[in-house]
Amino acid sequence: MSESISCDKTIYVWTAHHCRLHAPVGGALKSLRGPANYLPDCRKYRFGTDLRMSENTLFNQSYRRLFGDGVGLHKAADGFFQRFYYHFLQDAEISGFFRNTDMSRQISMLRKSFFHIAAFYVTSAPSAELERIALIHHKLGIADAHYDKWLDALVETVKEQDEECDLATELAWRWALAPGLTYMKLFAHLSTA
């Protein structure tokens, strides 16, 4: 079994044992099905027997259910990000940051940038766009706790929009986004002096 995900103009292919650069092509997320017995019940993973997050099949499948093959770049995904901001802005401190923001533009900006966060766990390298976004957020004064709330709101939205999302899928999302968010948080620690 192998899976592939496109990142900018590059396709990365990974199998149960490794991830490797495959071919420089454009295109969308392609995800082959895992074995039928793959992650049938998250309870067994409490014992850490076979998490196999290097493949992160549950994340890929959920991502595909939500966004199809378009890697979330299509305008059709705006409904998802609209719901995301509904959850994110429930927090008074967070909504304060967006007091003067054009939210339809913001939804579209997040949709376009989302893949850069999600791709980080596969590429292990930040894109130039992710670096740009991280710097902007550093200048905005976004801190660790804000990113944690961002992830909670994101997962809340996934649970709401993907009816097949169970606890193991939630873990798969948190796992997939953790590297990108860790990178963003690193910038939050930059000195402002």
Kindly state the DSSP code that residue 89 receives in the 8-state scheme.
Answer: T
DSSP string, 157-168: HHHHH-TT--HH
Q: Of these, 7, 29, 107, 110, which contacts ligand HEM (CB under 6 A)? A: 110
**Minimum distance of ligand HEM from residue 124's CB (angstroms):** 16
Indicate whether 155 belongs to the interface with ligand HEM (CB under 6 A): no
Q: Tokens representing 91?
A: 């927090």
Residue among 32 and 143 whose Cβ is closer to ligand HEM: 143
Q: What is the distance between the terminal CA atoms of the chain, rounded to a whole angstrom?
A: 50
Indicate whether 153 belongs to the interface with ligand HEM (CB under 6 A): no
Q: Of these, 103, 125, 135, 136, which contacts ligand HEM (CB under 6 A)? A: 136
Q: How far apart are CA 74 and CA 82, in angstroms?
A: 14
Contacts of 24 (CB under 8 A, 6+ apart): 9, 10, 11
Indicate whether 45 belongs to the interface with ligand HEM (CB under 6 A): no
Report the interface residues with ligand HEM, using CB under 6 A: 94, 97-98, 100-101, 106, 109-110, 113, 117, 133, 136-137, 140, 142, 146-147, 150, 181, 184
